[in-house]
């Protein structure tokens, strides 16, 4: 089975269960915690290690999260470990977080600029996206001096590249194309 299908199925099952039990916000916080813990290189290595037996992995997860997460979250982790799918836990957390934000009407937006933008421009951008997409905006900002100027905006699956680097790339492609045609 495809890796992404496994992650999506587990995440959606957890999402539906949390929604039915009216603990979606608590499980959402659990998944954020798990996602952060799984970013640690030692945790990644631990998750993918075939040497550590499943019972030991379950005990380690219970020691790490213990009373800090909902029982349903621990049950999901135990289920993944028992079926040898603990390496999917970070992806499950990521999908769950995305599904929950989608359910709450929050749109993840990434703005990449060459320099830091000021607060008034940030508010204008979030207001514009909020109005046009009729959604609450969660804006993440990246600074990439290599785009030279302009911006790259990603709203869910929509992608707008209005960077100087992209415009220069297009001009170069046109010049190369017209030079080749002239020969």
Which of 12-26, 41-55, 106-120, 159-173 shows the lowest per-residue confidence on average (mean pLDDT)? 41-55
pLDDT category, 2, cuts 50, 70, 90? low
Higher pLDDT, 182 or 44: 44
Q: Residue 76: pLDDT band by 50, 70, 90 thresholds?
A: very high
Burial tier of 100 (Cβ tally within 10 Å: 0-12, 13-18, 19+)? buried
Would you state the pLDDT for residue 3? Answer: 58
Close Cβ partners of 55 (under 8 Å, ≥ 6 residues apart): none
The pLDDT confidence band at residue 135, using thresholds 50, 70 and 90, is confident
Element (H, E) at 9: helix 3-20
Q: Which CATH class is domain 3-102?
A: mainly alpha
Query: Is pLDDT larger for residue 180 or for residue 25?
Result: 25
pTM of the model: 0.77
pLDDT tens by residue, 25-46: 999 999 999 999 989 999 888 8
Question: With contact defined as beta carbons under 8 Å apart, do 59 and 20 qualify?
Answer: no
CA 127 to CA 12: how far, in whole Å? 30
Average pLDDT over residues 147-155: 92
pLDDT at residue 68 greater than cutoff 60: yes
């Amino acid at each position: 089975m495809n890796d992404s299908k496994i992650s999506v199925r587990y995440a959606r099952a957890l999402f539906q269960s949390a929604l039915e039990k009216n603990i979606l916000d608590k499980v959402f916080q659990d998944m954020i915690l798990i996602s952060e813990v799984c970013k640690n290189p030692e945790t990644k290595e631990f998750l993918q290690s075939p040497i550590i037996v499943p019972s030991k992995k379950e005990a380690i997860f219970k020691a790490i999260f213990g009373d800090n997460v909902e029982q349903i979250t621990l049950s999901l982790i135990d289920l993944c470990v028992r079926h040898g799918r603990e390496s999917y836990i970070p992806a499950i957390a990521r999908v769950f977080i995305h599904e929950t934000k989608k359910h709450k009407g929050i749109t993840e937006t990434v703005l990449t600029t060459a320099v830091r933008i000021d607060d008034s421009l940030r508010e204008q951008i979030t207001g514009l996206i909020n109005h046009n997409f009729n959604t609450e905006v969660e804006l993440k900002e990246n600074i990439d001096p290599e785009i030279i100027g302009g911006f790259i905006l990603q709203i869910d699956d929509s992608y707008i590249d209005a960077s100087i680097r992209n415009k220069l790339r297009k001009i170069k492609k046109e010049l190369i194309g017209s030079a080749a045609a002239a020969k």
